[in-house]
Structure 1
Amino acid sequence: MDLRTLRYFSAVVREGHFGRAAVSLGIAQPPLTRQIQKLERQLGVVLLHRGQKKFEVTEAGLLLYERARRLLDSAEQAEADVRRLGTGETGRLVIGFVRSTPFTILPGIVVRFRAAFPDVELELREMRNPDQVKCLENGIIDVGLLRPPVSSRALQMVTLIREPFLALVPADHPLAPRRTTTIRQLAAEPFVMYSRAGSPLIHARVMEMCRRAGFEPRIAQYADQIHTVASFVGAGVGVALSPSTVTSFRMPGLRCLAVADKPAPLPVVAVWRTGNSSVLLRNFTRIAREAASAWQPQELPG
């Protein structure tokens, strides 16, 4: 007894007529009749009491019809689910992200992806760069949104956005009325610096920018997170160089200035395991690129 035979039997009971059932199935009536007779022989029971012009379904036939419909419905649902999984319409993606991306591209990616694939579950995990790389290599997360460099040969990536650097000064600072400044003009100021341990990439970039401008920054305070750096600058602890994400916080007492030196912006990349051919992953990276192309840094206040 296979699904095809159950489908034939269900059609006969549903239509109440062998001829109509044969038409609905797209087969001739004699083969259909033989299949039902073969099914009765296999089961050792009478399923249909046949008359000259009509038949009656026996108690055994009604029980088989009820169970057959459940099986056929389940099989159809399983086929549909597998097809949808194959096209990336269902499934689950685990996404790692660094803490700055909720203020830049992550919300736009999530909104676009959920609109396109509402039945795909997105699990979001905030993680530092090194932790994302390990989890990607071990298959714990499917895709990461982080800042390069990514040195693992097991991973590949695509750049999504490039964040410009801004100069941060207190609102009562002599440079505050200006819209731009040079890095050299900050040389005599105390710096609120991203720590090497907490934000190694930004720390290294800021130190490099200062040295290229001809000075070693005098560090008044270390901090790990962008909003912490911004709050310290706003409180008058010092000045800072920071990715443009900082404009999302609208900190009181803070002024953000464009940097005339135009230092290289800070990329955010999408990273995944080399060889991962998942349709879900392809759909996500496509939408991530679309969302990134629509992203623009916030305009500087004032």
Structure 2
Amino acid sequence: MELRHFRYFVAVAEEGSFTRAAVRLHVSQPTLSQQVRELEQRVGATLLVRDPAGTRLTAAGEAFYDRIKTVLNAVEEAARTARHVARAGEGTLRVGVSLPLPDELHFSVLSAFAAAYPRVRTSWRQVGLTDFDRPLIDGELDAAIMFMPVDSERLTWEPLTTVPRALAVPIGHPFWDAASVPYTEVLAEPLVRVASAVPERVTRWWHLHEQRNGEGPRLFGEPGGTPDELLIAVRMHRVLCPGPYNYKDTPLPSGIRMVEVTGLSPATVVAVRRVHDSGGLAEAFCRLPRAPPGRSRSCADRRGQ
């Protein structure tokens, strides 16, 4: 038996007519009838019968149809996957990078991908707080490296590494000399106001809404939409700003330091792509990289936070 026998049989079963099935398959009706007879001979059972109402399946035909339809679907899926894999070896990949990342992780990820796919042209651009994962959702980018939380309905991701959560603290604040601060002591502290263009899920996560029992944080100052604007607010209003602890390794303005917050789940850096972009360059990019030794976790499938 060959695949064409299965396809011819399925077409007749679904159309309920040899004539309509022949049109669908772009073959002559005698050819179609001959192929179906060959199939029945090889199976050793009558699969289709003709009556005044058309062509219908026998009991054996119904059982055969259910299983053969599954086989054909699997063949089609295998072919699609093969095409995606073939295309993954060349083309262009547009990557968004949210800076700063711990240990300059983006360099190792981009370098690993370039080494594995030398024929792929990789372009990248920085994404900020206000655009965040929108360029990826809208199709302006194919993949990105950024902190969670991203859109869990339209995006899927692979964890790369984690860092503790922290606060940007102004000089003179009671937390200034602390090595770390429990999150319970942060809840009563005023925080910087974040621009409305920043996705609400991002603001809520960093402002510890889940830990506040329904009570929102106290916010001060004009809304900030970039890290620099938020750090200005920290100095000007003597308030706190949540952020990843790796910011301590960046050039912070004088009079500001990062203090680790304990008792919270860490901030996670992910390689992220659209849910439906499977089997191609974006998925290859997300699955390939590993974070630097000592800070990394292997990339495992992740579909929720």
- What is residue 288 of structure 2 aligned with on the other side? 287
- What is residue 259 of structure 1 aligned with on the other side? 261
What are structure 2's unaligned runs of at least 5 residues? 1-84, 297-305
State how 1:1-302 maps to structure 2 within 5 Å.
86=86, 90-101=90-101, 104-127=104-127, 128=131, 129-135=133-139, 141-146=141-146, 147-152=148-153, 155-186=155-186, 189-205=189-205, 206-208=207-209, 211-212=212-213, 216-235=217-236, 237-251=238-252, 252-263=254-265, 265-274=267-276, 276-278=278-280, 280-288=281-289, 290-291=290-291, 295=295
Distance 1:246 1:96 in 2: 19
SS in 2 for 1:284: helix
Distance 1:267 1:219 in 2: 28
SS in 1 for 2:288: helix
Deviations 1:37-96 (A, max 9, x none): xxxxxxxxxxxxxxxxxxxxxxxxxxxxxxxxxxxxxxxxxxxxxxxx948554321223
Distance 1:249 1:235 in 2: 20
What are structure 1's unaligned runs of at least 5 residues? 1-84, 297-302
**Structure 1 residue 204: deviation in Å?**
0.8
Letter in 2 for 1:114: A
Cα distance change, pair 256–101 in 1 and its aligned pair in 2 (3 A): closer
SS in 2 for 1:258: strand
**Structure 1 residue 177: deviation in Å?**
1.2
Relative contact order (alpha carbons < 8 A, sep ≥ 6): 1 or 2 greater?
A: 2
Cα distance change, pair 273–191 in 1 and its aligned pair in 2 (3 A): closer
**Structure 1 residue 102: deviation in Å?**
8.7
**Structure 1 residue 247: deviation in Å?**
2.2
Deviations 1:101-150 (A, max 9, x none): 59853222112223444442101134431231121xxxx54323343342
Distance 1:213 1:184 in 2: 15
Letter in 2 for 1:133: I
- Give the conservation status (yes or no) of the 8 Å contact 1:190–1:220: no
Query: Larger C-alpha radius of gyration, 1 or 2?
Result: 1
Deviations 1:166-210 (A, max 9, x none): 022113222211101123434554321333422533311115156
Distance 1:91 1:102 in 2: 29
Cα distance change, pair 250–270 in 1 and its aligned pair in 2 (3 A): same
Distance 2:214 2:180 in 1: 16
- More helix per residue: 1
CA RMSD between the two structures: 3.5
- Count how many residue pairs are aligned between Structure 1 and Structure 2: 205
**Structure 1 residue 99: deviation in Å?**
4.9
Distance 2:86 2:137 in 1: 27
